[in-house]
Amino acid sequence: MIFKRRGRERFLDAVTGFEAAVEQQDSAGAERAFRQLHRQYGSAGAQELATGAARLAGVLADVPPGPRGTVAVVIGACVERGADPRACAPAILDGLADAVRAAGEFCERWAGSGDDELPEPEDPGPDEKVIERTGFEQAMAWWSLPQWEMASVAMLSHAAVRTGLAPARRAALLTSARAVEEASGHDFKCLKYALLVLDDEPLVVFDRPSGTGYALRMSGIGDTFQLHTLLAHQLVGGGHLPGSAPAPQEVAVCRDAPGQVPTRGAFNLVAPDGSWIWNEGTPSDIPVVDGSRLLVLDPPPYDRGWPAGRFFPGMTGDLVLERVLTAEETAQWSAHVEPAKKLGN
């Protein structure tokens, strides 16, 4: 117990040293304090991590561009161990916005000064030639984007952060991330998917074979594979539609249980215009009709299986069946539905 208490004290001591070094713009001192902080992280308790994460978030904007992404990852790790994401998210998402903006400038300057391929963010850090070619802040942002993606996903895995993020801010981050991805060819799928997660989102489902309709509400679902399994649980497992329902463990790993287990597809998911909604996408792909996302179920054209689970292991997902629609309500929704299209149309 004495060892653990001292370890926890040393963690906050390291945070204090790091804060002081950042304030004094002492790069060598900040590096020493950060190494100490990293060493003591494993022995720190929940309260120390919560306090330390909030304090690190408070000085994050003053950390130089190079190590700033690394500090963001540490804050994200503290949140994954129980620190309050609401206290840390504003600094992380502000840093993300700055990094994505500067990384976009990096891509533009790189393309404007030559025709060679962009370096991978995972490569060793930029040398002097790269910095001269693109700018220091821009080069540091490009190399630290994977770190900002990791830290931001740790924040966005929590509903309180997602629901507190203004729609315009979320849209701006998505637009910037997609622009960098298009300019660079680098895949920022985790960041995009985290920004696309829906919460307390109404979903109307029309089952074409039975002509029945259902009102549901979804939250924290990272991809459509996860939605598919939860939908089969609610509609097939609930006795509303025929078929083979997912086993309890298949459902559990799509909600909050760890791990993955094999599952099978129960439907073909279709948009109102007849085009397919792919499991590889996100529930945000489902079109909005009259204020609700409208999804059509068709029989599966072929047998398909995948590992049931969550795209974001730290994110709790849920799908609630609110009620079965009346025949009149179902007819109103089905009026928006066109015939199914063949694969590729």
The answer, as to whether pTM is greater than 0.95, is: no
pLDDT (tens digit, 9 = 90+) per residue, 150-202? 999 999 999 999 999 999 999 999 999 999 999 888 888 999 999 999 999 99
Q: Which residue has the tokens 């920022």?
A: 188
Q: What are the E-state strand segments in 96-173?
A: none
pLDDT (tens digit, 9 = 90+) per residue, 45-62? 999 999 999 999 999 999
Q: Nearest 5°: CA angle at 170, between 159 and 310?
A: 45
pLDDT of residue 342: 67
pLDDT of residue 343: 59
Q: Please compute the mean of the pLDDT values over residues 2-16 and round it to a whole number.
A: 67
Percent of all residues in the chain with a pLDDT value above 70, rounded to a whole number: 96
For 287, the 3-state DSSP assignment is: coil
Neighbours of 77 (CB within 10 A): 17
Of the pLDDT bands very low, low, confident and very high (cuts 50, 70, 90), residue 4 is very low
pLDDT of residue 116: 77
For 52-64, b/e burial (b = at least 16 CB within 10 A) is: bbbbbbebbeebe
Neighbours of 327 (CB within 10 A): 10
pLDDT higher than threshold 50 for residue 5:
no
Q: Please compute the mean of the pLDDT values over residues 234-257 and round it to a whole number.
A: 97
